[in-house]
């Protein structure tokens, strides 16, 4: 279920998974053949994992962080990991960059600039579930464009404030 009041978009697990599947179909229908997927942690990990499985392509991970203050609602300094984690080899060839959303566009733009400077990458495209109207970066693939740029409440955010003791209580054990 999706609930959008213009300022907030609430996304259920089922809706979230359908959106990732729509992203996979959009990439597939474009006819673009890629060699590897690079997802941005943390938001792009779930979409990246699903696309990696659907397309049967290796998944690399790059950690980024900018939303740390106020339980992840205030954007701060952008930090990009120095290294990209992958099972073998190097990031090379045609690479699909996956994240959950193009919010301000700052993170995607910074990562794209860094990747385009890598001579091993011959072609780079980006894919996200959501692109906000305020984004300064336009991904190659996006499932939903959000003209009011709402705050997106993703289903996994319930874990942001959950700690092991609270989890134990919730499980009733």
- Domain ranges (residues) in the chain: 12-146
**Cα separation, 112 vs 116, whole angstroms:** 6
3-class secondary structure, 16: helix
Query: When comparing pLDDT for 151 and 72, which is higher?
Result: 151
**Cα separation, 73 vs 154, whole angstroms:** 12
φ, ψ of residue 132 in degrees (nearest 5): -85, 150
Q: Are 31 and 17 in contact (CB under 8 A)?
A: no
pLDDT in tens, 41-79: 989 999 999 999 999 999 999 888 765 444 444 455 666
CATH T-level fold of 12-146: Rossmann fold (3.40.50)
pLDDT in tens, 80-129: 656 678 777 889 999 999 999 999 999 999 999 999 999 999 999 999 99
């Amino acid at each position: 279920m999706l609930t959008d009041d213009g300022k907030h978009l609430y996304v259920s697990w089922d809706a979230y998974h359908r959106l990732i599947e729509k992203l996979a179909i959009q990439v597939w229908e474009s006819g673009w053949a890629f060699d590897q997927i690079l997802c941005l942690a943390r938001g792009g990990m779930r979409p990246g994992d699903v696309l990696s499985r659907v397309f049967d392509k290796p998944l690399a991970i790059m950690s980024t962080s900018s939303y740390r203050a106020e339980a992840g609602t205030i954007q701060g300094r952008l930090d990009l990991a120095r290294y990209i984690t992958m099972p073998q080899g190097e990031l090379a060839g045609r690479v699909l960059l996956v994240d959950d959303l193009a919010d301000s566009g700052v993170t995607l733009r910074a990562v794209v600039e860094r990747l385009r400077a890598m001579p091993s990458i011959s072609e780079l495209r980006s894919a996200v579930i959501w692109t906000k109207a305020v984004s300064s970066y336009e991904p190659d693939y996006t499932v939903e464009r959000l003209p009011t740029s709402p705050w997106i409440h993703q289903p996994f955010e319930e874990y942001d404030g959950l700690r092991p003791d609270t989890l134990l209580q919730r499980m009733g054990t």
